Amino acid sequence: MGLQAYLTLAAVIFCIGLFGTMTRRNTVGVLLGIELMLNAVNINFVAFSRFQGTEIGMVFTLFAICITVAEVALGLAIVILLFRMRRTATADHVDWLKG
Amino acid sequence: MTLSIAAFWVFAAILAAAGLAVVLSKNLFHSVLWLALALVATAGIFLSLDAEFLAAVQILLYAGGVITVVVFAIVVTERLVGERLAHTSRRVIAGAITSATLLAVIVRALSRAQIDVPRPPLTADLTRQIGTSLLTRFVLPFELLAVLLLVGLLAASYFARPEE
């Protein structure tokens, strides 16, 4: 398969993830959308790396995967904290900063 | 060659279908399971790009670790409220228009770009190359990553500590 096919696939997945991030009410659902978007970016990195013939992009993907894991752990900790304080997981109910 | 093309299309179809199921499913738990399928399909895409090591990392860290953590979080939060979490969507039409527009822009840019480069043949073991550059050229970010993971671990356990 050519580079174009991989990039198009990544674009499709990114847009699906963007849709999920924008439309989900539940904070965990928003996190799942963000996961999909990060995944699409990783596909782009690996595809460019393979078609360029170097391993640099794959090393970067490795870093991106590890950082994503840390991000998910922290995000879920925040969701649990939110639950304790507000008894809600809906992103719209988190409006403490609203004047 | 035909087998690899078929594998790409199969994995791409699974990935797109599972991704749509993640954002459209009414049940939060089902969404997470669909995400697991999407992550495994991504590992298949990595395999079709000759990145065996990344495919293994993807399955171990993402499909193994992240999915387990998310499932735990859902179970814990549902236990805290004692009811099913609502998992609905809002402003679906606006979201669909925005993402479809972005997709159209990207696909248009991709179709105009001159990126029909041939795939260079594999000269050496990619896993070996990744390992070598991790511990030579990228050793500083590698160590910083270890610190980041430690900070993430501490911060997550601090946030989720039991109430005094």
pLDDT digits (tens, 9 = 90+) for A26-69: 888 888 999 999 999 999 999 999 888 888 889 999 999 989 88
Picking from B66, B100, B155, the nearest residue to A72 by CB comes out as: B66
How many residue pairs from chains A and B have C-beta atoms closer than 8 A? Answer: 230
Q: Are B4 and A1 in contact, with CB atoms under 8 Å apart?
A: yes
- For residue B33, the distance in angstroms to the closest alpha carbon of chain A comes to 11
DSSP string for chain B: -HHHHHHHHHHHHHHHHHHHHHHH-SSHHHHHHHHHHHHHHHHHHHHHTT-HHHHHHIIIIIIIIIHHHHHHHHHHHHHHHTSPPP--BSSHHHHHHHHHHHHHHHHHHHHHS---PPPPPP-S-HHHHHHHHHHTTTHHHHHHHHHHHHHHHHHHHHHTPPP-
Give me the pLDDT at residue A34, please.
Answer: 92
Least confident of A65-74, A83-92, B90-99: A83-92
Report the Cα A48 to chain-centroid distance in Å: 19
Residue B20 forms contact with A (CB below 8 Å): yes
Residue B109 forms contact with A (CB below 8 Å): no
Give me the pLDDT at residue A18, please.
Answer: 94
Examine the pLDDT at A98 and tell me if it is beyond 90.
no
pLDDT interval class at A83 (50, 70, 90)? confident
Contacts of A38 in chain B (CB under 8 A): none
Q: Are A31 and A4 in contact, with CB atoms under 8 Å apart?
A: no
Q: Are A9 and B115 in contact, with CB atoms under 8 Å apart?
A: no
What span, in angstroms and rounded, lies between the C-alpha atoms of B13 and A94?
36
Residue A97 lies in a domain: no
Give me the pLDDT at residue B106, please.
Answer: 93
- For residue A66, the distance in angstroms to the closest alpha carbon of chain B comes to 8
Contacts of A51 in chain B (CB under 8 A): 117, 119-120
- For residue A56, the distance in angstroms to the closest alpha carbon of chain B comes to 8
Residue B29 forms contact with A (CB below 8 Å): no
Q: Which two tokens stand for residue B21?
A: 């199921």
CATH number of the domain where residue A77 is located: 1.10.287.3510
B86-124 pLDDT, tens per residue? 667 778 889 899 999 999 999 999 888 887 788 888 877
Examine the pLDDT at A86 and tell me if it is beyond 80.
no
What residue ranges of chain B have pLDDT lower than 50?
A: none
Residue of chain A whose Cα is closest to the Cα of B141: A63
Give me the pLDDT at residue B38, please.
Answer: 93
The verdict on a CB contact (< 8 Å) between B163 and A53 is no
Contacts of A17 in chain B (CB under 8 A): 19, 23
User: Domain range holding A84?
Assistant: 3-92
Mean pLDDT of A69-78: 87
Residue A33 lies in a domain: yes
pTM (2 d.p.): 0.89
The verdict on a CB contact (< 8 Å) between A4 and B116 is yes
